[in-house]
């Protein structure tokens, strides 16, 4: 049984991918000109980093939006400034994006591909469902196994494969975050076409 103790903290957080896309557009409009604080302030001014009630998100969620964009490889923070990634999927997402609009099916698909391709997302979530070590989004949708999640009180959570063999023993609440990000990205589009 593998314990998830290699990282003390995980960068994954629940995010609204529409906001991620809109923040990415803001980075693209100012490629290499915005520092973290300025990006966040411009995100508030453009009503990207605000709650439904119109109030700005607090610093922590704004920080996590930036980190999700960085860790998914959509943009990079180089010497304190944000630059759009050379990743063709991030560029394709930008070419399709319509700010403030709901995500299109194509945008959802691109984001799902980016998330499922991320090594941390694979290691801490998607690999639990797969027997093959290498897979893409379409293979995952076709061949992913189900898993059983058992809560064991103070011991934590255990993930079991279809034969009840332990996959992970998780004694951290961060699994919930990884799971939310993973499920949202892959199930963002219905499994059946």
More confident residue, 177 or 122: 122
**How does residue 31 score in pLDDT terms, banded at 50, 70 and 90?**
very high
Q: What is the DSSP letter of 4?
A: S
What pLDDT, on the 0 to 100 scale, is given for residue 129?
A: 83
Point out the least confidently predicted range of 16-20, 36-40, 185-189: 185-189
How far apart CA 103 and CA 88 sit, in angstroms, is 18
**How does residue 191 score in pLDDT terms, banded at 50, 70 and 90?**
very low
pLDDT in tens, 43-99: 999 999 999 999 999 999 999 999 999 999 999 999 999 999 999 999 999 999 899
Residue ranges covered by each domain of the chain = 2-186
């Amino acid at each position: 049984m593998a314990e998830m103790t290699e990282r003390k903290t995980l960068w994954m957080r629940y995010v609204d991918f529409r906001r991620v896309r809109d923040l990415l557009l803001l980075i693209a409009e100012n490629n290499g000109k915005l520092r973290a604080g300025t990006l966040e302030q411009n995100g508030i001014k453009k009503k990207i980093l605000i709650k439904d009630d119109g109030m700005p998100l607090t610093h922590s969620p704004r920080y996590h939006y930036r980190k999700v964009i960085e860790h998914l490889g959509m943009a990079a923070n180089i010497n304190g400034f944000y630059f759009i990634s050379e990743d063709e999927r991030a560029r394709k997402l930008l070419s399709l994006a319509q700010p403030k609009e709901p995500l299109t099916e194509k945008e959802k698909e691109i984001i799902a591909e980016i998330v499922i391709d991320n090594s941390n997302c694979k290691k801490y979530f998607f690999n639990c469902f797969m027997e093959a070590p290498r897979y893409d989004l379409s293979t995952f949708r076709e061949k992913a196994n189900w898993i059983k999640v058992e809560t064991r009180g103070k011991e934590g959570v255990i993930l079991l494969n279809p034969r009840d063999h332990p996959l992970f023993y998780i004694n951290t609440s961060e699994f919930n975050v990884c799971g939310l990000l993973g499920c949202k990205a892959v199930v963002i589009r219905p499994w059946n076409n």
